[in-house]
Structure 1
Amino acid sequence: MAPSSSRLTGQITGHGGSHAVAAARQHGVDTMFTLSGGHVFPLYDAAVQPGADMRLLDVRHEQTAVFGAEAMGKLTRRAGLAVVTAGPGVTNAVSGVATAHFNGSPMLLIGGRAPDGRWGQGLLQELDQPPLLDTITKRAQTVHGTGEISASLDDAFALANTAHRGPVFVDVPMDRLYDQAEADLPGDGGTADPDRAADPDRVGEIAKLISEAERPVLVYGSDVWLDNAEHTARETAEELGIPVITNGQGRGVLPARHPLLATRARGVALGQADLVVVVGAPLDFRLGHGLFGGKDGAPLAKVAHVADSPGQIAEHLTLAGSASGDLSAILRAIGDAARPGNRLPEWRDRLAAASAEASEADSDALVSDASPIHPARIYGELNRVLDDDAVVIGDGGDFVSYAGKYVEPRQPGTWLDPGPFGCLGTGMGYSIAARLARPSAQVVTLMGDGAAGFSLMDVDTLVRHELPVVMVCGNNGIWGLEKAPMQMIYGYDVAAELAPQTRYDEVVRALGGGGELVTDPAEIGPALRRAFNSGVPYLVNVATDPENVYPRKTMGV
């Protein structure tokens, strides 16, 4: 029986897959990231029916499907969808779900499951899966009734899209997906956010702290973007004249070269500030766990934390102020109430000078003719060819740390990286989603040679689905984040070497894309232009100097 649905009447009739797809379409989902498995065939059958308007994007590893769905959530601010088969399909997806959890990315993972009818008899891939995902999802559940699928998934999408956003997992037994049922399709595809009005007294306390501070800094994180607060965040910073540091998807809220953007002076800003107001970011290792100030004789800074929901407010340190709720409303209220002090221009000038000094110190590296190639030279060339709306994806350790330093987005919502979980292998899934979500923009994926080993086979997916992406591999032949620290601790290193100048470009060509190896710094720019002009997935494989490792400091990475 072919599935059928009517979005006018809200009725859905057919097998379980048709109920699932109808619920997804109600929430604006038009792409199903997946790797084929018999447990979930009914979802594919529903997706390809006339009028379903659901694209099947099949990949070579389940983690890529999940990373694709996560990136779709990051870019569109609406939950992406991944569908995987039972057992190994779900376990292969776990790292991707954990990444989405730590990033607060809205997404739904639907897993196949061994049939209810013979559960407990040693069925193929019989595994109780929700307990595996319970700690890294907003909810992990099994739906045991075909007629319950659409309502359960409607609620799951709404939950994933509700602040604080994150992944939701639902598995459905194989027999329930194949069974037929009729049900009402609930909801209208919206989200059911609770009241997110912040406590006005708490907001007023933060505004008072800003008014009293001499050296305040605003830090904007990913949730500023995910909560649709990027425009208000920029307006508030400009209205108050407070320097800003960005991280994660907060990058680009203030564009490159904005006079208030103090990212290049990060060490001075966070080390000498007397007040740091962190908005939409956790006070984790990337922000020194919230221990700011104390540099050059300055006392420790007061810290205020603003989050999209109460559970995101830091509890591991004493805060001078905190507020949670709708980030746009909170920032607007702070902007209306705060009255910055007279010494703020002096503070801005100090950070502007520090930024200029840092840029001057880095200028030689960006044009370095050193051989082997200095990694910074790659970014000096890349910045010359990037459009303002280019989507830049970082998938790596040492090489991508250079990207965080030298590539400053010019628009919000154009930067993707693995986030605090630090899982390598996100690059291909993120690339696929970025090309689908931003079809007219440049998409460039920056990966170390270590990261390339996790997901490069999914270039085949890019080729099959005709999704041109430029990939740049910083190929230094080592695990850069591990080799130098192990040398420092033990005086030697093991398990930190990769083959020098491995031809990852030839792998891409073998899979139907294009690529080339670059060993001369003068050829980086021409190679990048060839890549962007090629119209195919193209890897610029740059042999970089293994002795040139990213200089790390105590605060941040």
Structure 2
Amino acid sequence: MATFQLKHPENRELLGGDLLAQCLHALGAKVAFGIHGGHLDAFLMGCADVGIDLVDVRHETVAIQAAEGYAKVSGRVGVGFITANSGFCNGLPGLATAFADRSPVFVVTSSPPLRDAETNCLQGFHDQVVLAKNVTKFAHRITNVGEIPRLVSLGWRTTTAGAPGPVVLDFPIDVLFTPIANENIAWGSLTSPPNALPGPDPAAIDDAIEMWRAAARPAIIASTGARGAVNELLKLAEATGTPIFHSTKFSTAIPYEHPFRAGGARRLAALRVNRSLPPDFILLLGARTGLMLGGRSGAIIPHEGCKTVHVDLDGSEIGRSLPVDLGIVSDVGLAVAAMNAAVAKNPFRSTEEWIRSALGLKSIRAPHNEDESVIVEDNGRLHPYHAMKKVYQCIPNDSTVIIDGGECGGWAMQLLEEAHAGLAIASTGYLGFLGNGWGYSLGAAIADPSKLVLSIQGDGSAGFHIAELDTYVKFGLKIVTIIMNNSVWGMSQAGQDIIYGYATAKRPTVALNPKAKYEVVAEGFGCTSAVKTLEALDHAMDKLVHAQGPGLLNLVVSDHPYQDTTKAMVGQTDDPNVIVVPYYDNIPKPYYKDSKQAVNGANGAKGG
């Protein structure tokens, strides 16, 4: 094991907080997101001494979300710090989303002195480790200063072992402020080489390639787990003549101009609408079945006539919601490299007709939205489709796009190909968690300052953490925030209208303030801002994109029409034998309703 040299700060003792900071630095931490708390000062001073950049935010939820966004863009573990109890409870939503979305985040928190347990002391009511257990891969309280390196290295490796996820370590304040005795330090695996990634079973690779060769209409669907395998993935697509789709959650970094980039996987559902044949082979790479891939509907991954091969680090995800013909538990990069080696021995013969059909999906546009006569709706507000399209056309190629919100998120995803983005992330994730985009955008901008970050918000999601504009300004970040302002909770209003009738006057709890001036809020925090009509969008976006620092556009749009994805998710139907379950698959009624029953309902319902 390599030796670890402790660095002693000038003019003060080496404390537990210094040891924690130096351990994180040795493991690769470069930046940490959080909010100050006196419990953490020994650690924060240690970070400053060792060279870990500290990004202080306005809310602890955002701190964890920023660490998560940083991890997704950089491919490294994201680090967050939140103070005892009050700060920790604010950070819980961030942990919940990181756990659901499998993001490697290492969170440092603190607590009262060990001796003060159960004394009603300051910020000591909740047992943070107990609270964290259900939303982390590992949560632990360090009770001995000498054990810091062992447990920090254990926690750090746990974030990326198998399915990635968040880890919380609780450092009581007395442990952080305790001086270090070198002879009592348990170093653990702090300086050991990183864990080797698991590779695929060679026999499974051969089986996958055999299925693939037999297919006439193959497709690749990649997501977050394929983030670091882009070059090998492109090589595989070219060698097999297979279009690459991405999940809604994460676009991967497939270049926009690459000939096998086919866009979002949701477009595969259009094949049925167009009466075209669907894929007969799908390779899922680090992409979980479920919400982001059409649930159990079969619209994206067909139920019949299609072989599915699923590659994932987490074996428990393989076959979770859909049948899988072959599961391969492996790092995606290693699996794809092995497939490339197998294909090279016997090249594929691609199907040109299928390739044209699949790649043509990304150019499909909704006819009613393309109608230039409805750029401005009857209410005088911009059509959201045309407004979002114009925004995308005004940003530099290869920007990072972070999509938040409900109804506005649907428009943003539908038009994503217009952005020519280098990377796109749906921040709402598996929890449908509004407001994540503020932290994700912050983390993305810190991870890659060379790229413009376009943060798309609805006026609903905007209200959660708009104070982070202050953070963007403080750190001079190139983040342009677009607030699609329609003065309602768009998806909520859509669901009520579709189910209960568009003419109904009753729309409970969907209204937002039509007088809100988000551009004034932005100016108050020191952002460049604008509020414009479609005709002036080019000028407004040019101003924001080329400003020194962050900017915000209050983009006033109509609350109609509703996005097609929203309509599909609501699932309204005239079938009397179906129970409409908004946002999930509809279910059959426990009895059949027919014309006879309508005439003679007293005879009772038929079983079914």
Q: State the TM-score, normalizing by the size of structure 1.
A: 0.90
**1:528 alignment counterpart:** 541
Q: Distance in 2 between matches of 1:392 and 1:412?
A: 8
The alignment-based identity, stated in percent, is 24
Deviates more, 1:352-361 or 1:266-275: 352-361
The residue number in structure 1 matching 2:411 is 402
Number of residue equivalences: 546
Partner residue in 2 for 1:234 = 234
1:429 match: secondary structure? helix
Residue 528 of structure 2 is aligned with which of 490, 508, 514? 514
> 1:315 and 1:434 mapped to 2: Cα distance?
30
**Is the Cα contact below 8 Å between 1:248 and 1:417 reproduced in 2?**
no
2:454 corresponds in structure 1 to 444
Q: What is the one-letter code of the residue matched to 1:167?
A: P
Deviation at 1:489, TM superposition (A): 2.8
> Post-superposition shift, 1:19?
1.2
Aligned to 1:255: 255
Which amino acid letter does the alignment assign opposite residue 464 of structure 1?
K
* Distance of aligned partners of 1:343 and 1:48 in 2 relative to their CA distance in 1, 3 Å threshold: closer
Residue 307 of structure 2 aligns to which amino acid in structure 1? K
- The Cα shift of 1:483 comes to 1.0
Distance 1:302 1:55 in 2: 47
- Aligned runs of 1:458-537 on 2, under 5 Å? 458-491=468-501, 492-518=506-532, 520-537=533-550
Contact 1:399 1:448 in 2 (8 A): yes
Aligned partner letter, 2:521 = V
**Structure 1 residue 60 and structure 2 residue 58: aligned?**
yes
Q: Distance in 2 between matches of 1:366 and 1:413?
A: 32
Distance verdict in 2 for CA 1:357–1:308, change over 3 Å: same
3-state SS in 2 of match to 1:377: helix
1:251-277 CA distance string (max 9 Å, x none): 143333533233364223587122222
Partner of 1:3: none
Q: Secondary structure at the match of 2:433?
A: coil
For the residues of structure 2 that align with 1:476 and 1:197, how far apart are their CA atoms? Answer: 49
Instruction: Kindly indicate whether the alpha-carbon contact (under 8 Å) linking 1:304 and 1:322 is maintained by their aligned counterparts in 2.
Output: yes
Retained in 1: the 8 A contact 2:470–2:526?
yes
Match of 1:346 in 2: 353
1:451-510: CA deviation from partner (whole Å, max 9, x where unpaired): 110000111122223334211110001111111112233344210110125211111111
SS in 2 for 1:439: coil
Match of 2:226 among 211, 224, 227: 224
Q: Shift of residue 249 of structure 1?
A: 6.2
Assess, with a 3 A threshold, how the Cα gap between structure 1 residues 19 and 269 changes in structure 2: closer, same or farther. farther
Name the structure 1 match of 2:595: none
1:357 Cα shift? 4.1
Q: Distance in 1 between matches of 2:450 and 2:305?
A: 46
1:326 corresponding residue in structure 2? 331
Q: Any idea what the Cα deviations from partners look like across 1:49-93, whole Å, max 9, x if unmatched?
A: 3xx212221111101111111111111111111111111211111
Conserved? CA contact 1:366–1:376, under 8 Å: no
SS at match of 1:181: coil
Matched, 1:201 2:203: yes
Q: Give the SS at the match of 2:388.
A: helix
1:22/1:150 contact within 8 Å kept: no
2:91 to 87, 90, 93: 93
Query: Aligned partners of 1:234 and 1:365: how far apart in 2?
Result: 37
Deviates more, 1:380-389 or 1:404-413: 404-413
- Whether the 8 Å CA contact 1:294–1:301 is kept in 2: the answer is no
Aligned to 2:577: none
**Shift in CA distance, 288/365, structure 1 to aligned 2, threshold 3 Å:** farther
CA distance in 2, matches of 1:147, 1:167: 23
Give the Å deviation of 1:312: 3.1
Please list the CA deviations of residues 93-148 of structure 1 after superposition, one character each: whole Å capped at 9, or x if unmatched.
11111111122211111111122112111222222112222122110111111111
Match of 2:48 in 1: 48
List gaps (5 residues or longer) in structure 1.
1-5
Shift of 1:26: 0.9
Q: Distance in 1 between matches of 2:18 and 2:39?
A: 14
What SS does the aligned partner of 1:65 have? helix
Cα distance in 2 for partners of 1:147, 1:314 equals 43
1:69 corresponds to:
67
> CA contact under 8 A between 1:117 and 1:175: conserved in structure 2?
no
Kindly indicate whether residue 560 of structure 2 is the aligned counterpart of residue 547 of structure 1: yes
Q: Which has the higher contact order (CA 8 A, sep 6+)?
A: 1
Q: How far apart are the structure 2 equivalents of 1:366 and 1:528?
A: 23
- SS of match in other structure, 1:289: coil
Select the structure of larger CA radius of gyration. 2
CA shift, 1:416, in A, is 5.6
**What secondary structure, in the 3-state scheme, does the structure 1 residue paired with 2:465 have?**
helix
CA drift of 1:437 comes to 1.8
Shift of 1:194: 5.2
Corresponding residue number in structure 2 for 1:167? 166
Aligned match for 1:112, one of 110, 113, 123: 110
- Counterpart residue identity of residue 315, structure 2: P
Q: Distance in 2 between matches of 1:91 and 1:189?
A: 33
C-alpha distance in structure 1 between counterparts of 2:432 and 2:29, whole Å: 27
Q: Which residue of 1 aligns with 2:589?
A: none
Equivalent AA in structure 1 for residue 145 of structure 2: T
Q: How many angstroms apart in 1 are the aligned matches of 2:23 and 2:413? A: 38
| Alignment partner, residue 9 of structure 1 | 5
Amino acid at match of 1:31: V
What are the Cα deviations for residues 172-206 of structure 1, in whole angstroms up to 9, with x where unaligned? 11211111123455556676435512122222222
Deviation of 1:33 after TM superposition, in Å, equals: 1.1
Aligned equivalent of 1:211, options 198, 202, 213: 213
Q: Which amino acid aligns with 1:358?
A: R
State the 1:366 CA deviation: 12
Quote how far apart the aligned CAs of 1:290 are. 5.4
Instruction: Map 1:304-453; keep pairs closer than 5 Å.
Output: 304-337=309-342, 344-358=351-365, 363-364=370-371, 368=375, 370=377, 371-408=380-417, 410=420, 413=423, 415=425, 417-453=427-463
Q: Which residue number corresponds to residue 286 of structure 1?
A: 292
Using the size of structure 2 for normalisation, the TM-score is 0.83
- Name the SS of the counterpart of 1:23 in structure 2: helix
SS of 2:66 mapped into structure 1? helix
RMSD over aligned Cα atoms? 2.9
